Structure 1
Amino acid sequence: MMQKIVNFVQDIYNTKEFISLHEPRFIGNEKKYLNECIDSTFVSSVGKFVDEFEKKIAEFTGVKYAVATTNGTSALHISLLLAGVQNGDEVITQPLTFIATCNAISYCNAQPVFVDVDLDTLGLSPSSLEKFLNENCEVKENRCVNRITGKIVKACVPMHTFGHPCRIDEIKDICDKWHIVLVEDAAESLGSYYKGRHTGTFGKLAAISFNGNKIITSGGGGCIITNDEELAKKAKHMTTTAKVPHRWEYTHDMIGYNYRLPNINAALLVAQLEQLEVFLQNKRELAKEYEGFFADLTDIEFIKEPQDSRSNYWLHAVSLKDRAHRDAFLKFTNENGVMTRPIWTLMNRLEMFKECQCTDISNSVYLEDRIVNIPSSVRI
């Protein structure tokens, strides 16, 4: 069976050479805009491409404001600070996520609390969230307080895993009821929609990533999206070292961060955005081929977009029978020129988060044992 899978992947990518998990594609105006940026000499955090990118990404996602940052982690860090997360607070998230989610929480000197994911979305489960809150928390003076730790639960950060939207509307309703700020980790879900709305538009703020392996990239890069004008202005100020505007004086009015996206990176992203619809369509076509192929195989299941969703299929994934089958699959494919990788180690297993409060996470454990990502690059 595994040789058949390797042969199929080689056929759809039309190569016998090593096939990466996810490679960037530069097939448009990237070199043209980079040259234009270099010729302008505005290659750092000021320039027309930064402004153009922010405008276009806001239009694409359907929000009023976007603030470009150096990467998705910095975007999430600032989003959490703007949500009011402070030293000693708690932030609810999922254990099945990339480390950046929990790192950003830790940068705020806050602590993650882990609730389970749903098997079909791979993202934070509304029922697990509600169960945790009902059993452990209470609302005091319009703040959610964890009765077990005595700490304030300030925010909730669901992550749209591999670009598959979680049940974000239900999560929002729960957060509103419990006076918890919803911040979406939409790092992987540019071009994904839930019930017709782009991911990242349900929470007060959201973070998107443009890392080298994302659906569009500038080598790095990220952005904050929001419909709140005041938060957007503050985000831009904080990410530009909190410098008070002046023609020559250096005055800073708060602790700021050097998180603004350079113009030269934004030039790449403007060009990449012009190809985004092509990339999204290509990924959906690839998903259809994978779905048809794996439907005929036993003990392996292709992960499809959840109900009410339109996924960007950033990383395609399959679920194996158990951990032993998963490990055998990983070994065979990687040794035969097809890059595959397991899903992340659960956050609560990592040394720095092993003492964090954690609910029953049976679904997360089940998925950790079985999920493997398979080649997902856009085909030219």
Structure 2
Amino acid sequence: MSDVWQQLVELVRDYYHTKDFIPLHAPVFNGKEQDYVAQTIDSTFVSSVGTFVDRFEDDIATYAGSPKAVATVNGTAALHIALKLAGVETGDLVITQPLTFVATCNAIAYCGAEPVFVDVDLGTLGLSAQAMEQWLSNHAKLGADAVCRTKKDGKVIRACVPMHTFGHPAELDGLCKVSQRWNIALVEDAAESLGSFYKGQHTGTFGVSGTLSFNGNKIITTGGGGMILANEATAARAKHLTTTAKKAHTYEYIHDELGYNYRMPNLNAALGCAQLEQLEAFISAKRALADNYKSFFQGSSMQFITEPPECRSNYWLNGVICEDKKQRDELLESTNSRGVMTRPIWALMNHLPMYQNCRRGDLANAKWLEERVVNLPSSFK
């Protein structure tokens, strides 16, 4: 396969027009970023109060078609608060996928809850509605109070968290139906999928809430930041909790419950406003790069990961499925040794020490993908 790896490296270098090191994903600043950040500095409102925070929330809500959006310091904080507002409490169980970034599970753990790992679909890399239904049928029951509990020990199964892997939407119709049937709150981890649509509706707007991330490696960045997408009542609660639960008063400091210092600084929001203005151009460039990769791997023994039917993916990270772990390791070694960064998909969450004893179903698909998926350079020009 050495010739194939060399050809892949040449394809990537030709696209980026460089012989230097090529990272997996780097931000692009081609718009009004410097202007907006300078305006923020000139205003002296660089912390969690300022016009750019309000503007960024409104702009994201409008773009995603969400009633409201609440900016946070990062995506993990957004998911933490979204889960709390979905009613997740200490001792609860939350169904999620093992094939995800660790922040998904950490946010569940911050609530004092425990993740339950259910398999993913091979076609979406996201939480499988069929696997979720099967696990619930085998292990759960709905009580007379309409609360979903485990048959074995009566633990409350409060929510489920699908993650839209690499920006590809999970199968939301099925997940919504299963969640409704079992009276489980659906909270979408849409950290990677800003700009992705499932049957014409933006990811993160199907459940009781959804969350986005604007980390430095996302399709648009605020340096660090996140967002909660929700209805007006939930958003109002989210804003209160993320602002240290401080009640409005002319001069007194009144905090009426346990709150969190999770608000996004105005400085970061200014960067986000400028980035969001370019989002559709970014997505077009990413989709063009994905087409290049798709053509390269067509007819090979490897499968390029494409958007699910009736979806538009932002193609945040491009990925390819290798024949087996041996081929995966060859690809990783050959590209990285030539200065082109590629990465394996995350280790399954149930393999990590803090989550290895969590409940789980049959994870055959997730295990299969863990041994085969490689992410390719996905920055855009």
What is the count of residue pairs matched by the alignment?
Answer: 377
Partner of 2:296: 293
Matched, 1:324 2:331: no
| Alpha-carbon distance, 1:16 to partner | 1.2
1:240, distance to aligned residue in structure 2 (A): 0.3
Q: TM-score, with normalisation over the residues of structure 1?
A: 0.98
State which of 89, 92, 96 in structure 2 corresponds to 1:89.
92
The residue type paired with residue 83 of structure 1 is A
CA distance in 2, matches of 1:270, 1:219: 12
**Structure 2 equivalent of residue 195 of structure 1:** 199
Q: Unaligned regions of 5+ residues in structure 1, if any?
A: none
**5 Å matches for 1:73-88?**
73-88=76-91
Q: What amino acid sits opposite 1:121 in the alignment?
A: T
Mapped partners of 1:134, 1:263: distance in 2: 47
The answer to whether the aligner puts 1:253 opposite 2:256 as a matched pair is yes
Correspondence 1:172-187 to 2 at 5 A? 172-187=176-191
| Distance in 1 between residues matched to 2:86 and 2:116, nearest whole Å | 17
**Which residue is equivalent to 2:341?**
339
Pairs within 5 Å for 1:1-380? 1-140=4-143, 141-226=145-230, 228-296=231-299, 298-379=300-381
Question: 1:15 offset after TM fit, Å?
Answer: 1.2
Deviation (angstroms), 1:149: 3.2
Map Cα deviations across residues 276-328 of structure 1 (whole Å, 9 max, x no partner): 010011011111111111114x2211111111111000000001111111111
Paired AA for residue 207 in structure 1: T
Q: CA deviation at 1:17?
A: 1.0
Give 1:204 deviation, angstroms: 0.5
Between the aligned partners of 2:213 and 2:152, the Cα distance in structure 1 is 34
Once the two structures are TM-superposed, the CA of residue 158 in structure 1 deviates from its matched residue by 0.3
Per-residue displacement from partner, 1:128-185 (whole Å, max 9, x unpaired)? 0000011110001110001123200000000000000010121011101101000000
Q: Which runs of 4+ in 1 moved over 4 A?
A: none
Provide Cα deviations, 1:35-94, integer angstroms capped at 9, x if missing partner: 100000000000000000000000000011000000000000000000000000000000
- My pick for the range that moved more, 254-263 or 303-312, is 303-312
| Residue aligned with 1:73, SS | helix
**Alpha-carbon offset, residue 229 of structure 1:** 1.4
Partners in 1 of 2:282 and 2:310 — Cα distance? 21
Percent identity between matched residues is 58
| Deviation of 1:26 (Å) | 0.5
Gaps of 5+ in 2: none
Whole-Å Cα distance in 2 between the matches of residues 10 and 149 of structure 1?
56
Measured after TM superposition, the shift of residue 217 of structure 1 is: 0.2
Bigger shift: 10-19 or 211-220? 10-19
The secondary structure found in structure 2 opposite 1:351 is coil
* Mapped partners of 2:327, 2:380: distance in 1: 27
**Alpha-carbon distance in structure 2 between the residues aligned to 1:243 and 1:177:** 37
TM-score, normalised with respect to structure 2: 0.98
Structure 1 CA distance for aligned equivalents of residues 271 and 345 of structure 2:
29
Q: Distance in 1 between matches of 2:178 and 2:222?
A: 36
Quote the RMSD (CA, aligned, Å): 0.7
Match of 2:187, SS? Answer: strand
